[in-house]
Amino acid sequence: MSTTETRSVSWSRKIADTILKECNQQGEHEFVLERWAYVPGMLQMAMARAGVKLAEPRFLSYMQRHMDSFIGEDGSIRTYSLEEYNLDQINQGKNLFLLYEESREARYAEAAHLLAAQLIGQPRTSEGGFWHKKVYPFQMWLDGLYMASPFLAEYGRVFERPELLDEAAHQLLLIERRTRDPRTGLLYHGWDESKEQEWADATTGLSAHFWSRAVGWYVMAVVDCLEHFPVTHPKRGTIIGIFQRLCGALLKVQDQETGLWYQVLDQAGRKGNYLEASGSCMFVYAMAKALRLRYLEPSFREGMFKGYEGILAHLAEEDEQGVHLHRICHGAGLSIDRNGSYDYYISEAVLSDVPMGMAPFLLAALEVERYQEMLKDPHPSF
């Protein structure tokens, strides 16, 4: 599919319609209502952004309906426990800001204050890096940067707490410095300061491989944080610089035939490795948004569009049920039974149509379409 053909299709609306259709088919007890969690939170955010961009109230109400099933009148959050100190539990809270902006209801602000209180008291490494969870002592994972840092940055802006923007910047810069491989420029999935974990190198504390979705979480975190930084913030330029450097490393491992990225990024051609959907969508989202906001140079445009077209040509399909997305890694982590080896990463289940892939697919489509619209307008108004 050519770039011209790609631009003529509103994939974002088709993806959002498919998600809404699936939700309606499941009825009032759909799985996304079971607990406060990061994957449904990302799906709700993607649908809300689709609602705003496409002027479609049905998509916005999807997010509000799910959020309202959790947020009490006093701002309490059903199924959430601050004392878990789990960064994953912050992600769904990103939806609170739009709800508060639209309604000015105090309960949404109180819920945001509760989540911010967790981050202010989050256990930390000796350099102030957030532990991924209380049960993962002295461990920083790339995943956690997406879960918490954009929330913290937006909270700092909305509630006029500039020191929390400084904190978000510190987290982004610290984990990049600790996990970056100087040879490839890619970031390792996790780092254990204590060097005690089975998956951690005894000398560096680093995990062994570059997992696609982990790096995807990080690049999405950067572009979503930077939106909230004033241009005068002393760390803004450095963050943009390391982001562009990382995107350059990603283009070096992009599959030239399909435009996609592998589950284990630097192991193309190794037995069992495969072109994976969620990470590919995350990279396209982050690059498209960064191109639109000029965090990236225009030279990255070709690689971004090649990635998007690769998703549409090789991973997505349509039928009477709607849009489907294939080759989505079900999940991966680092623990006693998840040792971070190559064999581990390729052993996790590979699924179709699950929210872990559909949410970044929708986010990517929305950002690519926004960037395409900007290219058509010689005087963009952002």
If you ran DSSP here, which 8-state letter would residue 133 be given? B
Rounded CA-CA distance 66/77 in Å is 12
CA distances from 168 to 160, 214, 219, 235, 341 (A): 14, 18, 14, 10, 30
The first and second tokens of residue 105, run together, are 């209801």
Rounded CA-CA distance 209/190 in Å is 9
Rounded CA-CA distance 95/128 in Å is 26
* Helix boundaries (H) for 199-321: 212-226, 236-252, 277-292, 301-314
Q: Which of 223, 237, 329 minimizes the C-alpha distance to 277?
A: 329
How are the residues of the chain apportioned to helix, strand and coil, as percentages rounded to the nearest 5? Answer: 55, 10, 35
φ, ψ of residue 207 to 5 degrees: the values are -70, 170
φ, ψ of residue 139 to 5 degrees: the values are -110, 130
Q: Answer whether 313's CB lies under 8 Å from 1's CB.
A: yes
To the query of whether residue 143 is one of the catalytic residues in this protein, the response is yes
Active-site residue identified among 68, 74, 88, 143: 143
- Residues marked active site are found at 143
